[in-house]
Every structure is written in C-alpha cells, then in structure tokens.
Chain A
C-alpha cells in the first residue's frame, strides 16, 4: 500500500453515562443547581460529592489505513461503534483520544436529505441541501441539470417537497449527494431507503465514484450490498476492530459472530421506565443463531429491565432488506399483555408465527412502549438475521428478495385445485 488517504491511529471516544437522575443528555438547570448546592452537605456527611458516572467507550484503540480508491465497508452490530466512527471522521463529534488524518476533501452522507425543508420546492432544496453538504453555489448551478435528471423529478421541480412521494423525496436527496465530488466519501446506510430500482442506480453511481479513484467508506446492514460494493471490510465489535480484510470474509465473520455477541452486550441506552438489555435469535433447540429458516417460528429472546410502571408493552418491528417496515409484533395489542408491574430484570421469548420470508438480510427493531402513547426504549437494528434461501413449498425456485417481488412469499394453505367451470 502506498501512502494512505485516511489514517486512523489509536482512536477512542468516551461517553459519560449519568447514573443519578435523568437519562436525557441535556439537563435541567434545577438539577445542576441542586447538585451543586447539595455537594458540600454530602461532603460533610462523608458521601460522594459527585453524581456517579460510568465511562462508556463507544470506540477504543481503533487503527487502520485506507489507500486512495479503496471502497471499504464498515460492519458490526448495533452499538459496535460504526456510527461513532463515521461521526468522528465527518467531524461531527470529537474523539476523546487518538488521531485521524485525512488527505483530501471529505463529504459525508449520514442521512439522506439532511436539512431538506418540506415547505421549499425541489429546486430550492437542491441548493439548500447542496450548500449543507459543502457545495458552493457555483458548483450546484453547474450540476443542477444533472442532479435533476438523476432524480427524475423534472416535472415537480417547483412543487414543495412536502407533496413529493417518499420515493421522489429520497431520489432527489440522494441525487444531490451523489453529485458531490469529494476525494473521500463517507456513507451511512443511505442505500437502505428507496425502491429496488433506485437502489441499483445508487449502487451503480457509487461504483462510478470508486472507479473514478475516489475513496468510499460505507456502513451498512445490508450484507449483500457490502459484498457487492466493497473490496475490504472492517468488522467492529464493541468499539474495537475485530477483523480487517477482504469484504466477503468480514461478512462471514459478522454473520458467524452470534455467540460472541451474547457474551458481552453493547450498552443500548435506556428509556424512561425500561431498558432493553440484550436480545438474540434462538433456534428450536434454544441456541443463539443468526439464520432463520422460512416457514418456522421466529424466536426472539429479550432481556429487559422495568421500573414496574403499569401499562408498558413490548414490540418488535421487522424490517426487510430494503429497511422497509414489514410487520409488527406486540404483546399488548395482539395478546392483551403488559410488562410485569414489579421492578426487575426479566427475560422473555417472543415466538412469532411462521413467516415465509424471501432470501435476504432482515433486521428487527425492538421497543418498549407506554401503551397507546409513546415508545419508551427504542432500539433500532437490535437484531439482524439472514434468510439464506427460500424454497417455498419445497420447490426448487429460490425466492430472493432482490428479485423485486417484495420480501414475503404468499403460499396457499393447500395446493389450489382447478375445477371445470361450465360456461353456458
């Protein structure tokens, strides 16, 4: 490898978890004043003078180098530090230790359509979003027609984007970002939105970008996209680099790491009343797995804590490989149950009825909620699993998600029979 374009040395990021009081990152002035005022008193009593805090390293001792033109996939579980790494590389947040050296202009795309305003027209949003992503007005003007053509929204340019369909919205947003000309492009999960056809177009565009000698860092939960798009994969586990090498191997290790993960769970945050501590997928024998065989029950084992608040429910949202919400499981809405009204830590297994999922990678968002009111602790991408192949009804045809027929096979309860209908 010649001289690198991205150099990461001993990178670490620490977050402070506050244990006393609120879990919210911002604080009420009242609490600060109360804590400060009470400190001398506690000191007199010989107690601790500070709110207890726990350090949590979202990222630790991360080292790697990236050569110009390389396309690198960053994979890892929820809480493994992927987003933190991207946020540091994009200069949104500062590292606690270590250093990153970037030899080139960086553009990062952590979200599609950042700063889009629903009241503004497509035309106006192109300029606004372009400026937010770091393009100059002259640059946007020069690429304007190309952006519009890529997004295929010519007819709606002067319509406020609030009237756009979600597909049009995403196309326009990605089109602006795709026309950035950075030397280093950082992308987070943006391909997870949009329809299959547009995803293909975006993948194609990213291919062009990398072929044009540009370096791409790419985070995704879509293992197929990582395999087809990147040449090298960096697997993060609990904030550290667990593997750095060929993309296919990184993906395999990631898929096979189900058991490692249960040993040390990442901190997932907490809600007001509850905290989802860990979750895993079980096979019929009760072992942690990462694959799901279509047509069998899907077993999700969840460990959670509750403060005993009445009227709490537990939900799971299934997302298909395109990150589209596919279905809901709910202990309250479907079974009339709530979480135990006694504070403590509990383990529960949700055994979902057989589904005929197409082959692809799926994920589950797990959340607790105050019934009919609000989410309490929402964990996005709490679990991921793979459907390796879907031979519905024992037929040889493999129903793949990326064929564009959706992600749910709808087999008949019994083989349909054709009866002769007399036409009189």
Chain B
C-alpha cells in the first residue's frame, strides 16, 4: 500500500477512506446515543416525550385559534408533521455542532471528517425510528390503517436526511471558522418551525404566498409525510415535492463541496 501526502492531494483517497472508516461512523453515533442514555435519568423516553409534547401543544394551539377540524384526527395530522420536523431539526442542530464537539478527535487522529456530522444525523435517525413506533400506536388508537402511500415514507425520510446532511455539512464547517453559527443555527431552527406546515396545513396558505412558500424544502417533506401516512385523506402538491428534491440535492452538493474545500484546514483552526 502506498500513500502520498501532498498539498491539495487529499481528495484521492477520500471516498475510499469514507468507506474504510464506515465502522467509525457507527461507533460515533452509538457513542452519542449511549452517552445520552447514560447521562439522562429517563433515557430513551426522551425521544418520545419531545415529539409527543410538541404535538400536544400544537393540537391545543389549533383548538385555540379555531382551526376547523377535517376528517383526520387532529393529533395524527399534527404528529405526522412533527415526526419529520423533529428528525430534521435535531439532525441539523447536532450535526452543525458536531465538529466543535469533537475538536479533540480532529486535532489528534486522521479520518474523513465528513463522518462526524454524518454520525450526528445517524443518531437523530435512531431517535426518529423510536418515534415511528409512537406513530404506529397513534394510528392503531384511531383505527387508521396505512395505505399503499405509506411505502413512500422511506423516500421522504431520505429527503429529510439529505437536506439535514447538506445543511449540516455546510453549517458544521462554517461553525469551525465562525463561531457565530452556534447562535445562528438555533435561531434558524426556531424560524423553520413557524414557516413550515406543522401547526397549519398547506391549503391554508394564501394563494399569493404559495410560490415563496414552496421554496421551503420542508413543505414537500412534511406534506409528503402527511400524505404517505394519511393516504387519500390528504392532498400533496407535486410542486412542493419537486422543490424539496431540488433544494435537498443542491444543499447536499453545496455542503459536501464547501466542507471538502475547508476540511484540510480544520486541524489548524479548531
């Protein structure tokens, strides 16, 4: 085996190394889960409490502002949106903070750095799987069986993961250089919660705002989840899905490009 180290040459082995070090990614994700569940008293229950409480608050909010109930039980309608939102927002928050949190590793060992934010998204995905169990219980309770549309759920989950990875790479790399992003990311997530169709549904968005609204990639993802879980009871705008696919793909490309460009300097500045 021969390895050449030269300025600007790291690209050669990068993707092969990503594959070689894939076990490290699982270990990092597993570490974050294990540590979280050891440090907290109620462990895995946290993955359930957060989305459950968020759902209850939004259901109460919808009652308060007198949203007319449709033919879908309110808790289910809201939970179908909270599910991808929770996954996306925690994946984004954790991945963008992940490089700083692992500064010790970065300055002492070599491995493709992309693994660190990726592992953070994997951790969030594990929580997402647990939350899916809660959804199944809710559907059972309301006697709603999933239709064939449920088969598209992995697609929409992948779309959310893609978007979180892309933005996560970008923000994590920016965070190393500009520590301001530590404050920017929570703010972005907070804004995202209100401009995405979680407390409301897309059909309630006024016509003249539709175009701008569709640019939010979360619209396609959240509506996709609602459609795939609730089947024919819910309308899905194809335009929203295309917009999501386009934004998620371009943010992934942009994220990887920027991350790779600045990655070689991480150890010098972190």
Contacts and interface: CB of A to CB of B under 8 A. Distances in A.
B5 A117 contact: no
A134 interface: yes
A115 B105 contact: yes
A88 B5 contact: yes
A127 B109 contact: no
A285 interface: no
A228 interface: no
Contacts of B38: 119-120, 160
A110 B267 CA distance: 13
Interface stretch (B27-35, B141-149, B231-239): B27-35
B179 A28 contact: yes
A115 B35 CA distance: 13
Interface in B88-113: 104-111
B165 to A, nearest CB: 21
Given A25-B269, A127-B27, A110 B109 contact: yes
A114 B267 contact: no
B268 A90 contact: no
A20 interface: no
B19 to A, nearest CB: 12
B4 interface: yes
A94 B39 contact: no
A92 B269 CA distance: 12
B104 A114 contact: yes
Contacts of A108: 109-110
A111 to B, nearest CB: 5
A217 to B, nearest CB: 14
**Best-surrounded residue of B4, B10, B39, B176 (most CB of chain A within 10 A):** B4
Contacts of A30: 180
B6 A26 contact: no
A27 B105 contact: no
B39 to A, nearest CB: 6
Given A89-B5, A94-B7, A110-B108, A134 B34 contact: no
A103 B35 CA distance: 38
Contact of B104 (A89, A101, A115): A115
Contact of B179 (A26, A100, A117, A133): A26
Nearest to B39: A119
**Best-surrounded residue of A96, A120, A131, A160 (most CB of chain B within 10 A):** A131
Interface residues of B, number: 37
Contacts of A25: 268-270
Contacts of A32: 178
Interface string A90-112: 11111111111111111010110
B204 interface: no
B24 interface: yes
A30 B27 CA distance: 37
A15 B178 contact: no
A112 B176 CA distance: 24
Interface string B61-99: 000000000000000000000000000000000000000
B23 A111 contact: no
Contacts of B177: 26-27
Given A92-B108, A94-B264, A110-B109, A132 B6 contact: no
A29 interface: yes
B2 A91 contact: no
A95 B6 CA distance: 6
Interface string B9-43: 01000000000010110010001001100110000
A30 B264 CA distance: 24
Given A26-B176, A128-B27, 17 more contacts: A28-B178, A29-B180, A91-B5, A93-B267, A94-B8, A94-B264, A99-B5, A100-B6, A105-B1, A106-B3, A111-B108, A115-B104, A115-B105, A117-B35, A128-B31, A137-B23, A160-B38
7 contacts: A92-B106, A100-B4, A102-B5, A115-B104, A117-B31, A124-B34, A134-B111
Interface of B: 1-8, 10, 21, 23-24, 27, 31, 34-35, 38-39, 104-111, 176-180, 264-265, 267-270
